[in-house]
Structure 1
Amino acid sequence: MLKDAIDLSAVRRVLVIKLRHHGDVLLSSPVLSVLKTHAPHAEIDALVYHDTRDMLSGHPALSQLFTIDRNWKKLGLRGQLAAEWQLLAGLKARDYDLVIQLTEHKRGAWLVRMLRPRWAVAPGGNFGKFFARSFSHRYPVIGGNRRHTVEIHLDALRRLGIHPSAGERRLRLVAGKTAQQSVRQKLAAQGVSGAYLLIHPTSRWLFKTWPAARMAALIEQLRVQGETVVLSAAPDPAELAMLADITGRLSRPVASLAGQLSLKELAALIDGARAFIGMDSVPMHIAAAMQTPCVALFGPSGDIEWGPWQVPHRVLTTNLPCRPCGKDGCGGGKRSECLELITEAQVLAAFNSLMAEVGA
């Protein structure tokens, strides 16, 4: 028996802190769901970076969503301090009984000391005495591509005596009716009215992407099979340049909403697709959240730690002894051989196998 399990009946308000990138924040969404299931009387808030807020906004378990804008530093010292003080005042007014810190970020330790909850839990590890003494509970982090990130997040709850069932661990992202309507209009403008396959060939980290020539060849083969292909990409200039390289190799144009979508609209676009093909990236995690079957290509990143979560999928990797290395391309050269060795035939076979499995 866990001797220091918390008394959930005494928990009125909870703050979940996840100060990381978009995908990391989305992968923390089951923590909110599990908390609400096991403590339905409690109000559950979250604190994330402002640019990642759409990963959790609208979550049915969420009471309030607080954000930290990384652009506050552009306000000058006085403006930044005013924004920080306003945030702290808002958090203190909530009078939290429990704070769940899902990263080793020292801001979380400072907040716990200022908010003074009855309980606070954070990752284990050697982050210094100040961090260690700020929390009543610490949970071990099993890294090294041995445990999925969702499970690592949920370990924070297990350390408190909350054990989620398999059905409670699904990702949750709410696109919203406005985003859904907007996407339908944009697809119609591209001449897409029926079933489509969404391909998101880019990533914020370009060393995680498949070569443009291979992606173009795959698109051609999919169209031969009768697939209606829609492309998406972030508005980042490097990603749009890669997409232009791909489309420039095609025999005829393909529908593309690259650079035209908000995160909520991207979620709606993925939700409406019969399947998703892409890299280890935020859109792949969104596909899992929307329960859209997906084919994911993994190179330097760990597929056990970051793979598609609780959704029908196929993961493609190469059996090289050095992967997953997590490096910025082989030798830091921006190109990942473990990705380049994956062939179009392998991806096409994986897609067809997945479609046969789900009956699509």
Structure 2
Amino acid sequence: METFNPLRDAVPLGEIKRALVIKLRHHGDVLVSSPVFSVLKAHAPQVEIDALVYADTAEMVTLHPAIAEVHTIDRKWKQLGAIGQLKAELALYNTLKARGYDLIIHLTEHWRGAWLCRLLKPRWAVGPAVRGRSKRWKQSFSHIQAMPFNALRHMAETNLDALRRIGIQPGVNERCMTLVPGAPAEAVVAKHLAGFGLSGRGFIHIHPASRWFFKCWPVENMAALVERLQVEGHAIILTAAPSPDEKRMLDSIQGRLTKPAFCLSGQLSLKELAALTRVATLFVGVDSAPMHIAAAVGTPTVALFGPSGDKQWGPWGVPCRIVSSTRHQCRPCGIDGCGGGKLSECLTSLSVDEVFQAVQDVLSQCGGVGK
């Protein structure tokens, strides 16, 4: 018996052979869109699903079991000069054209997605409603996804709304994020853990930084948390991106510790970071891509939130605790620090006791950690 679908312009899934999902944003944004691939594949298993992302975010979706091919746009193309950039753009267009997409799902307001829909001419195309856009934007898509701002709705669900718009209702167990580290990354991490003497042992993975430093907890607080966990007998591994600012943050934390923590500052690729987090008993961090990576690999998480919205961007689909201020009614404001001053009082006011208790709660919930 055919399932009743009240959406009159629902896309007939059985007629789709290839689909392209476009997500041109930062690492965490791309990872939070990963359920779209899983749900689409679950409801239309015959479809070959490709992804189009920025080159530096490709590791967020490569090896995803629902993705056939990952196509990339390199932000560095602009450095090639007009002719070089044009050649790169034409090569990408020809590659996408040859795939012959029946469906394109564009998940952001980037104009490139609209132009690709016009150029590639899929039978169906989904794009977000963007206030103030011209008819040209709307006419680029067969289906427009409503995008009302809702600070209480997680971005994973907002991404899945693109599928709901064409008649797909995601099942409760289909909405998890997915990130596959891969065997090479797992081997690198296993070697690091063996060098630390942590093979087969539990440890807590702490990534203190975000690319946006106004989302970060003060280093003296993070150092105090690390020391307190060490006193409790927990092994701690600190990580940071290769950026000089993040490395300095970790150096500052290490310099405040009686006993330095294990450290992999700037030494891991994104896949290796995922492999490390996956074998950790607990992840502790701020609103950042590594926090989303922890959720995607299924690791219980303690996340500190300040000016950004935890309902929209919190850890998705894993046991977690959000630590945020109840004393600052202005959060989440989305501003880069109070008054634009790069320091967020709603974060700096969080006490070590509050975060330590959150860690204890999650560890207790998940059965503790090896010591």
Q: Check whether the contact 1:100–1:120 (CA below 8 A) recurs between aligned residues.
A: yes
Residue 251 of structure 1 aligns to a residue in which SS?
coil
For residue 144 of structure 1, report the CA deviation from its aligned partner.
4.2
Q: Greater shift after overlay, 184-193 or 220-229?
A: 184-193
Question: Do the aligned residues in 2 keep the contact of 1:31 with 1:153 (CA within 8 Å)?
Answer: yes
Which stretch shows the higher mean deviation, 189-198 or 178-187?
A: 189-198
Aligned residue runs from structure 1 range 90-109, under 5 A: 90-109=95-114
Equivalent residue for 2:157, pick from 148, 151, 158: 151
CA contact (8 A) 1:279 1:297 kept: yes
Match of 1:235 in 2: 242
Mapping of 1:316-355 within 5 angstroms? Answer: 316-319=323-326, 320-355=328-363
Residue of structure 1 in register with 2:270 after alignment: 263
Q: Do residues 163 (structure 1) and 169 (structure 2) align?
A: yes
Aligned-partner SS, 1:315: strand
Asked if the contact 1:173–1:286 (Cα under 8 Å) also holds between the matched residues in 2, the reply is yes
Of 255, 268, 286 in structure 2, the residue corresponding to residue 279 of structure 1 is 286
Give matches, 1:202-221, under 5 Å.
202-221=209-228
Distance 1:142 1:256 in 2: 42
> Would you say the 8 A contact 1:142–1:152 is kept in 2?
no
Partner residue in 2 for 1:224:
231
CA deviation after TM superposition for structure 1 residue 187, in Å: 2.3
> Normalising to structure 1: TM-score of the pair?
0.99
On the 8 A contact 1:33/1:61 being kept in 2, the answer is: yes
Distance 1:233 1:248 in 2: 15
TM-score of the pair, normalised by structure 2: 0.96
2:129 partner letter: G
**Partner residue in 2 for 1:300:** 307
Question: For 1:120 and 1:185, how far apart are their aligned partners in 2?
Answer: 45
DSSP 3-state at the match of 1:145:
coil
- Report how many residues are paired: 360
Matched with 1:129 is: 135
Aligned to 2:205: 198
**How large is the Cα RMSD of the aligned pairs?**
0.8
Identity of aligned residues (%): 56
Q: Which amino acid aligns with 2:228?
A: Q
What is the distance in 1 between the residues matched to 2:48 and 2:244?
A: 41
Q: Mapping of 1:176-191 within 5 angstroms?
A: 176-191=182-197
The structure 1 segments of at least 4 consecutive aligned residues displaced by more than 3 Å after TM superposition are none
Equivalent position of 2:181 in the other structure: 175
Where 1:162 maps in the other structure, the secondary structure is: coil
Name the aligned partner's letter for residue 259 of structure 2.
R
The 2-side partners of 1:123 and 1:149 are apart by 13
Q: Distance in 1 between matches of 2:259 and 2:163?
A: 51
Contact 1:27 1:149 in 2 (8 A): yes
Cα shift readout 1:183-209 (whole Å, capped 9, x = no counterpart): 111222233332111000011000000
Q: Partner of 2:3 in structure 1? A: none
What amino acid maps onto 1:351 in structure 2?
V
